[in-house]
A and B are shown apart, each in its own frame.
Chain A
Amino acid sequence: MSYTTPRPAPGPHPRPGEHPDTSAPVLRLVGLTRVHGTGATEVNALQGVNLDVFPGELVAVMGPSGSGKSTLLSLAGGLDMPTSGQVIVEGTDITAVNRKVLAAMRRRAIGYVFQDYNLVPALTAVENIALPRELDGVSARKARVEAKAALAEMRLEELADRFPDEMSGGQQQRVAIARALVGDRRLVLADEPTGALDSETGESVLALLRSRCDGGAAGILVTHEPRFAAWADRVVFLRDGTVVDQTVRSGAESLLSNQVADR
């Protein structure tokens, strides 16, 4: 049977431009351009990229290596500054603020998840999660309570007092996601978060990221694995620093309702 046959016919979607959440985007990239080098060696790592990510939305970014995926994520997280364009996080253009404000934005508004987890080895899971809050001036006790709540919400309580080397890769990555979204933070930028995990564990990490976005967070996932990108609401394809294509949200609901209607 050909690949088209088993797929139930799509319903009345997609609905380009329409978004389930009408509130303001958590992240807006506006005309984002990043040029490395000058003259003959000049490379446009990113050119004029526009992207809005809304609460509740997980956006996957795919593209060959060198297409600008990592540059996009670094710029979105304030780890790098664009040559031109804006990065607006929760209404603030982080390219136009001073270092102090930027650092505060990164602590309060932006969570990063890396391929290699990046937990502090000398701290337990709960301390790792509490750390950004404490750095932000929240009392140690309050930060700890919040961290425990974050773990409980993800059904990870049993990891609270473990050190990173006492956890599996998948567990560490789940703790890293909890850390990325602790407190008021609701933007999570994940750079190949499943890169070091086997595919089953990778799936469970993606399921967690998905559920955090369903719970109101906004996420960008950089990956080269189609099966992980498939957890996203939208898949953005980059090539040569530009968005060449993107899938729009379509409703799996329609597939089910077709079946029901067919009965």
Chain B
Amino acid sequence: MSIRHGLLALLEEGPRYGSQLRSEFESRTGATWPLNVGQVYTTLSRLERDGMVAQEGPDGAGHPLYAITDGGRDELASWFRTPVDRANPPRDELAIKLAMAVGAPGVDIREVIQAQRHHTLQAMQDYTRLKARALEPPPESRDEVAWLLVLEQLIFQTEAEARWLDHCEARLVRLSLLPKAQGDDRRATPTATPAPTATPAPTATPAPTAKPASTAAHAPADAPAAAVHAADKPPSAS
């Protein structure tokens, strides 16, 4: 587990005491995952029990120092070598929420999506501002570089979520579970679907009925999808 291995990685650089480990862990990860000293000491005592760290005498200031053992080094090396397991993806509350919102009576799934999109974009804005700051001047110390990588991980993660949300909305439109945007009707055959009223969709739309689209023969369901999917380009090659 990450705290355990994080502490081992820090101890690999030399003996440390508890609060020192806490602050080093946080500066390396930009305090993205704050630790309290209690967690650090609990983890240290478990590591000690498992023979991966050993107490050394106190340092000059009287702090009890911990050092990594050979067993701890082996454990650490194997952690770095082993990929993080994706076999059991962590439960994702958002995925569960959208899964439950599909066809749920009284739920406007478009509102659910937009509320999340708002939150996700705002988080991305924060991370991006932090990133801009982390790059100017360019990072030099090990901690600064590590913090930048963690920040960029957060940006990639939120970006994936934002893209997925756009995709969900486009998908639901394509499956006729959501009304098409008016602008897209312009391109579809005007007779196929009744023109939506001028009222904005989010508040005016009742919960989508769970009735699936009248299947593949229903040509217009596909035509506007192409338009909606302009918002759904594949990720830029990188």
A: residues with CB less than 8 A from B are 1-8, 10, 36, 40-41, 43-45, 47, 62-68, 197-200, 202, 207, 210, 224-227, 229-233, 235, 237, 239-242, 244-245, 247, 250, 252, 255-256, 258-259, 262-263
- Which chain B positions have C-beta within 8 A of A199? 235-238
**CB–CB A247/B227 < 8 A:** no
The minimal Cβ–Cβ distance linking A169 to chain B, given in whole angstroms, is 12
Closest to A260 in B: B31
Name B228's contact: one of A5, A64, A233 (CB within 8 Å).
A64
Closest to A246 in B: B118
**CB–CB A227/B159 < 8 A:** yes
Q: How many angstroms from the CA of A71 to the CA of B91 in the assembled complex?
A: 41
Closest to B236 in A: A199
Q: How many angstroms from the CA of A6 to the CA of B100 in the assembled complex?
A: 25
Closest to B238 in A: A199
B157 within 8 A of A: yes
B216 within 8 A of A: no
Contact with A along B21-40 (1 / 0, CB 8 A): 00100100011111000000
Closest to A70 in B: B183
Can you sample 6 A-B contacts with CB below 8 Å?
A10-B126, A62-B121, A65-B183, A239-B181, A244-B201, A250-B122
**CB–CB B231/A202 < 8 A:** no
**CB–CB A230/B121 < 8 A:** yes
**CB–CB A8/B31 < 8 A:** yes
The minimal Cβ–Cβ distance linking A85 to chain B, given in whole angstroms, is 16
A67/B183 contact (C-beta < 8 A), A6-B32, A263-B26 known: yes
Contact with A along B170-189 (1 / 0, CB 8 A): 10000000000111111100
Name B183's contact: one of A198, A200, A224, A241 (CB within 8 Å).
A241
Closest to A6 in B: B32
- Which chain A positions have C-beta within 8 A of B238? 198-200
The minimal Cβ–Cβ distance linking A233 to chain B, given in whole angstroms, is 8
B74 within 8 A of A: no
Closest to B180 in A: A66
Q: Which 7 A-B pairs have the closest CB atoms?
A: A66-B183, A252-B129, A230-B124, A226-B162, A259-B31, A65-B230, A230-B128
**CB–CB B183/A2 < 8 A:** no
**CB–CB A245/B236 < 8 A:** no
Within 8 A of A (CB), among B59-84: none
B99 within 8 A of A: no
The minimal Cβ–Cβ distance linking B52 to chain A, given in whole angstroms, is 23
A263/B94 contact (C-beta < 8 A), A198-B236, A224-B233, A252-B133 known: no
A224/B231 contact (C-beta < 8 A), A3-B94, A230-B121, A239-B202 known: yes
- Which chain B positions have C-beta within 8 A of A262? 26, 31, 34
B198 within 8 A of A: yes
Name B182's contact: one of A210, A237, A241, A256 (CB within 8 Å).
A241
- Which chain A positions have C-beta within 8 A of B195? 40
**CB–CB B33/A5 < 8 A:** yes
**CB–CB A66/B200 < 8 A:** no
Closest to B179 in A: A240
- Which chain B positions have C-beta within 8 A of A5? 33
Closest to B228 in A: A64
> Told that A6-B32, A230-B124, A252-B129 touch, could you supply 15 new A-B pairs with CB distance under 8 A?
A3-B120, A7-B123, A64-B183, A64-B184, A64-B227, A65-B228, A224-B233, A230-B127, A245-B114, A250-B122, A252-B126, A252-B133, A256-B130, A259-B26, A262-B31
- Which chain B positions have C-beta within 8 A of A67? 181, 183
**CB–CB B159/A226 < 8 A:** yes
A224/B182 contact (C-beta < 8 A), A3-B158, A199-B238 known: no
**CB–CB B118/A247 < 8 A:** yes
**CB–CB A240/B183 < 8 A:** yes
Closest to B226 in A: A65
B125 within 8 A of A: yes
- Which chain B positions have C-beta within 8 A of A233? 125
Closest to B121 in A: A235
- Which chain A positions have C-beta within 8 A of B132? 207, 210, 231
Name B157's contact: one of A3, A66, A252 (CB within 8 Å).
A3
**CB–CB B183/A229 < 8 A:** no
B163 within 8 A of A: yes
The minimal Cβ–Cβ distance linking B178 to chain A, given in whole angstroms, is 11
**CB–CB A255/B121 < 8 A:** no
- Which chain B positions have C-beta within 8 A of A41? 186, 190
Contact with A along B132-149 (1 / 0, CB 8 A): 110100000000000000
Contact with A along B150-171 (1 / 0, CB 8 A): 0000110111011100100110
